[in-house]
Amino acid sequence: MKNNTFIETSVSVLLVVLVLLIWNPLHFWMTDMILISMLISILMVFAIFATFILRENVRDEREGMHRLLAGRMAFLLGSITLVIGILVQAYSHAVDIWLVLTLVVMVLAKMGTRLYSDKRL
């Protein structure tokens, strides 16, 4: 399954590159046509990325622990980044609601999944 790992890594890197390209802080090349093309590309690459996440198969306990650790680190680092963003924006009195909503959805999804798995699985 080394080829599958290469494909997953390639899709992940492509997603990160596309998101960084759409950031475009200097606004030097973002016409409407390019913007729409970039948004569609991001949606398609994210759909492929989500497919890989949903189809993950664990063959042994060690691999399962690696997947759990990766998920925990992703959640923790994403949450830390959102909290730092909220704190920085709160300091300038301009909190973006999307940062707050994203953090709330992440925490509620984590707790909801945990409660569901404790009772049902």
Q: pLDDT tens, 57-101?
A: 888 999 889 989 999 999 999 999 999 999 999 999 999 999 999
Nearest Cα to Cα of residue 68 among 51, 55, 56:
56
- For residues 98, 81, 49, 6, the Cα torsion angle rounded to the nearest 10 degrees is 160
**Pair (109, 67) in one structural domain:** yes
Decide if pLDDT at 104 tops 80: yes
- The number of beta carbons lying within 10 Å of the beta carbon of residue 4 is 11
Average pLDDT, stretch 23-43?
Answer: 83
Q: Is the pLDDT of residue 2 over 60?
A: no
Q: Is there a single domain that holds both residue 29 and residue 76?
A: no
Compute the average pLDDT of residues 15-41.
Answer: 84
Q: Quick count: other Cβ atoms within 10 Å of Cβ 82?
A: 19
Residue 103 and residue 76 share a domain:
yes
DSSP one-letter code for 67 = H
What's the domain count of the chain? 2
Instruction: Report yes or no on whether pTM surpasses 0.75.
Output: yes
pLDDT for residue 1 is more than 80 = no
Q: For residues 67 and 43, state if they share a domain.
A: no
